[in-house]
Amino acid sequence: MLDQIGRQTGLTDDLKRVFSDNYRQVLLLAYFLVPSDNGTLSRFDHWSKLHQHPYGQTISSHRISELFQEITEEQLIAFFKLQAK
């Protein structure tokens, strides 16, 4: 269902354009965080092992921290500009 929403809204294509090599990891985190009621990543590892997602494997907490640090303000602005179209 989330795959279909990502395709229909252009979310997946926009993530691919902005985050290129890391877009599947960013999309995986979005799949977890968007429907989450508390916005924490404490149950992410367990969730990612139980659900089908675009990255196909889990991401360590260390890698999640690295990924968040790698995302620049310019990338965020570019992504939101694409989503606003």
Residue spans of the domains in the chain: they are 2-84
Asked if residue 79 lies in contact with residue 10, where contact means CB atoms within 8 angstroms, the answer is no
Burial 28-54 (b: 16+ CB within 10 A, else e): bbbbbeeeeeeeebeebeebbeeeebb
pLDDT truncated to tens, each residue of the chain (85 aa)?
667 877 777 889 999 999 999 999 998 888 888 777 776 788 888 878 887 777 778 888 899 899 999 999 999 999 999 999 8
How are the residues of the chain apportioned to helix, strand and coil, as percentages rounded to the nearest 5?
Answer: 70, 0, 30
* Cα(84)–Cα(52) distance, integer angstroms: 28
